[in-house]
Amino acid sequence: MKKILILFSAIGLISLTGCNNDDDVAVVPANQVVENEVFQVGPVNFAYDSSINMYSLIYDLNPQILPADMILVYRRTVDPGANNAPVWQLIPRTIHNGADEIDYDFNFDQGTILFTVDANYDLQETPTYINNQIFRVVILPGYDSSARFDYSNYDAVVKKFNIKESDIKVLK
């Protein structure tokens, strides 16, 4: 009986290890141009939206993105240790300032991006977190299979997807 159980276990193990998802095929419509894109939004000021009880900003995507596309959003900040060099931080992001917390986030659909910022205190006390904000939006085609890639490093993302600084559109 033990030998049969071991045999079934071995067969089950072999059959399960043979499965993977590496054979997925993405179909892109013939009339669609598929490319990576980066654009910069800002500097912009957030406005308080009482309907969602936080500061927000809506950006319209023109043209709209495809349903399977992925969006990454990075917020510009500075590195005081490197002569205030610009640093791009992936959002969602929580900034801790002592006991205070500031949360940057976003939602998107095919036609719009909703940027939000919220805090556990009144953000009007620190307007630097809601005024003159600059974001970089990276649109990646839905067919990309780089699921194991670390998207938190903006410089690595633009290098991986061959995006040049000169290609970045600055929008307000």
**pLDDT above 50 (res 104):** yes
Q: What is the model's pLDDT at position 115? A: 96
Q: Residue 163 is which amino acid?
A: I
Q: What is the model's pLDDT at position 151? A: 82
Considering the domain boundaries, does residue 1 fall inside one? no
169-171 and 37-44 beta bridge pairing: parallel
Considering the domain boundaries, does residue 46 fall inside one? yes
The residue segments making up the domain with residue 101 are 27-171
Question: Pick from 80, 74, 79: which is nearest to 93 by CA?
Answer: 74
**CA distance readout (Å), 151 to 91, 156, 167:** 10, 8, 19
Q: What are 53-79's pLDDT values in tens digits?
A: 999 999 999 888 988 898 999 999 987
The rounded percent of the chain whose pLDDT value lies above 70 is 75
133 vs 34: which has the higher pLDDT: 133
Considering the domain boundaries, does residue 7 fall inside one? no
Residue 117 pairs in a beta bridge with 55, 104
Q: Which residues, 6+ apart, have CB-to-CB distance to 114 below 8 Å?
A: 56, 57, 58, 59, 106, 107, 108
pTM above 0.75, yes or no: no
Considering the domain boundaries, does residue 128 fall inside one? yes
169-171 and 54-60 beta bridge pairing: unpaired
**pLDDT above 60 (res 37):** yes
Number of domains in the chain: 1
Q: Dig out the tokens for 66 from the structure.
A: 């495809």
